[in-house]
Amino acid sequence: MSENLQEVVAKILKYSEQFVLELKSANTKAQVLDLKAKYVGKDGLVTVIMKGLKSATVEEKREIGKKSNECKDQIEQMSKNALEELEHQEINRTLEENWIDISFRDSIRSKAACTSGYHPVTMIQREVEDIFSSMGFDILDGPYLEDDYHNFEALNIPKDHPARDMQDTFWFKDMTHLLRTHTSTIQVRGMEKYTPPFKFVGPGKVFRCERTDASHEFVFHQIEGMMVDKDISVANLIYFLKILLSEIFKKDVEVRLRPGFFPFVEPGFEMDIKCLICGGKGCAVCKYGGWVELVPCGLVHPNVLKYGKIDTSIYKGFAFGLGLDRLVMMKYAIDDIRLIHAGDLRFISQFASI
């Protein structure tokens, strides 16, 4: 070797310090890589010293080899750290520049994908309420949890009357309370609230312990209607129901009236609508009969008026109980009632824009 041992070792230490200084001003990965190559690359300053060891003495090899290896390791390690640091900075800069509020974007996306709106039953309920309130009817509410008196007794269905079996009831353990099986309970509550003449409708959920099929749910919706005045006749009842149906369907729909038995009306009727799913040809919804039972109705039984403390020598009344879910099915040609309450947004969101 042309230089002595001390001179070479000093050179190595100088390179080491020089590298540390120069690294401070390397601001990009390329600059770091260039710097690393300058010292420990194929022809780097440290590498050249190591290559020159071939002609060195054993002692020089040991001493210079040790120092140059330490210097090389230090340069490689510091280059690695610097590159990692620059990589981090780059990621942070990218994140900073392309910052996205994920929750904001999600809310936009969900708004676009799933426009909010009312449930079809709520929509039809409000429509029916609007039609009746425009004709002077009040809107009444009633509780889901009812007692035997309001659901049966005051509707002329005494205990042990076979008509109790017409509606399968969810009873509470005390056997005097139940989930109302129909909105006719609101008739009883209406008579407690008003003195005649009066007219009101009462919408809401009802509950029946029964098996479901294409036209039967065990939780569904009805809207009760009741009018009490002097000289009420079946003609008044038909008049209001026809207005209702023509307003809802905005077209002529075929209906038929047939006798129907309900202990709280006399005479009692069933108003059926020609099935709008199959056009009367027969399908699962109309049970292949072509007609769908929609609005049972009739003149209020005198016993019911008496329970309501109404003077039957002066007043008469009519009442009806419209199935709201069936009305939704007819209006929007839905062939299975179970779709309406299945909670499937793909189904429900179709009504959002209506």
In the complex, the residues that contact ligand FA5 under the rule CB under 6 A are: 167, 182, 184, 208, 210, 216-217, 220, 222, 262, 265, 268, 293-294, 296-298, 319-321, 323, 325-326, 337
CA distance 196 to 146: 24
> In whole angstroms, how close is the CB of 217 to ligand FA5 at the nearest point?
4
Q: Which residue has the tokens 């009802």?
A: 206
CA distance 326 to 334: 9
**Which CB sits closer to ligand FA5, 72 or 208?**
208
Cβ proximity of 240 and 201 under 8 Å: no
**Which CB sits closer to ligand FA5, 102 or 343?**
343
> In whole angstroms, how close is the CB of 246 to ligand FA5 at the nearest point?
18
> In whole angstroms, how close is the CB of 326 to ligand FA5 at the nearest point?
4
> In whole angstroms, how close is the CB of 131 to ligand FA5 at the nearest point?
17
CA distance 134 to 129: 8
CA-nearest of 271, 322, 272, 278 to 292 is: 272
Angle among Cα 68, 72, 78 to the nearest 5 degrees reads: 145
Cis-peptide, bond into residue 197, ω within 30° of zero = yes
**Which CB sits closer to ligand FA5, 201 or 319?**
319
> In whole angstroms, how close is the CB of 156 to ligand FA5 at the nearest point?
11
**Which CB sits closer to ligand FA5, 138 or 293?**
293
Q: Read off the tokens for 246.
A: 């023509």
Closest residue to ligand FA5 using C-beta atoms: 323
Q: Read off the tokens for 330.
A: 């007819």
Q: How many CB atoms lie within 10 A of CB 291?
A: 18
> In whole angstroms, how close is the CB of 266 to ligand FA5 at the nearest point?
10
Name residue 42's amino acid: K
**Which CB sits closer to ligand FA5, 36 or 208?**
208
Cβ proximity of 199 and 136 under 8 Å: yes
**Which CB sits closer to ligand FA5, 198 or 320?**
320
**Which CB sits closer to ligand FA5, 36 or 301?**
301
**Which CB sits closer to ligand FA5, 29 or 306?**
306
> In whole angstroms, how close is the CB of 300 to ligand FA5 at the nearest point?
8
Q: Which residue has the tokens 């490689």?
A: 76
CA distance 165 to 182: 13
Angle among Cα 320, 325, 330 to the nearest 5 degrees reads: 95
> In whole angstroms, how close is the CB of 99 to ligand FA5 at the nearest point?
52
Cβ proximity of 274 and 253 under 8 Å: yes
